[in-house]
Amino acid sequence: MQAPVYPLPRQQQGRPNHNGSPLAAAAGLERLVSPQPVSAVPQSSSSPSPTTPSVSNQGSKRKQDAMSPGNQSIDEAARLAQEEDKRRRNTAASARFRIKKKEREKNMERTVRDVTAKNAALEARINQLEMENRWLKNLITEKNGGAIADGDIAGMFDKYRATTEASQQLKLPNVVPPRAT
């Protein structure tokens, strides 16, 4: 009695097996599929030798066919190229971010310097205006309290200037106050 012979699926006909040799008339695969040798294959002995079918080889064959060297190298090369491109773009983006971050820090430091200088100038102006305000208040109270000679007003103004210059020298030691003529 002869075992039935199963035809090969079309996708496996003519393809190389896992060793790389083409399937010649599917003789090797027929031995795996059929429990007894087929009539196309000559028997060396009169008693049939039972062979066990190997299902795991067929599953791994499909995986190997899907990952054939030609497809694998093209797919692998495309994947590697895509990863390399992504890596290069990421590196460039990181470099751009670092440059922008340094520019932001420089701008922030410049802004801090400018604001600090402006703050110092405004504080000096406030002190000057407060001093002038006190001088004018004193001038008005003295004028209302009695008659003041023109020389007394000039003396008060000189006194005001001297105190202003003294306060400026304490706050800004490097600045030379202008001389009154």
pLDDT, tens only, 46-100: 554 455 545 455 555 555 555 555 567 899 999 999 999 999 999 999 999 999 9
118: pLDDT confidence band, cut at 50, 70 and 90?
very high
What does the H/E/C string look like for the chain?
Answer: CCCCCCCCCHHHCCCECCCCCECCCCHHHHHHHCCCCCCCCCCCCCCCCCCCCCHHHHHHHHHHHHCCHHHHHHHHHHHHHHHHHHHHHHHHHHHHHHHHHHHHHHHHHHHHHHHHHHHHHHHHHHHHHHHHHHHHHHHHHHHHHCCCCHHHHHHHHHHHHHHHHHHHHHHCCCCCCCCCC
Mean pLDDT to the nearest integer, 17-21 = 48
Quote the pLDDT of residue 142.
Answer: 83
Predicted local confidence at residue 101, as pLDDT: 98
- Give the pTM: 0.36
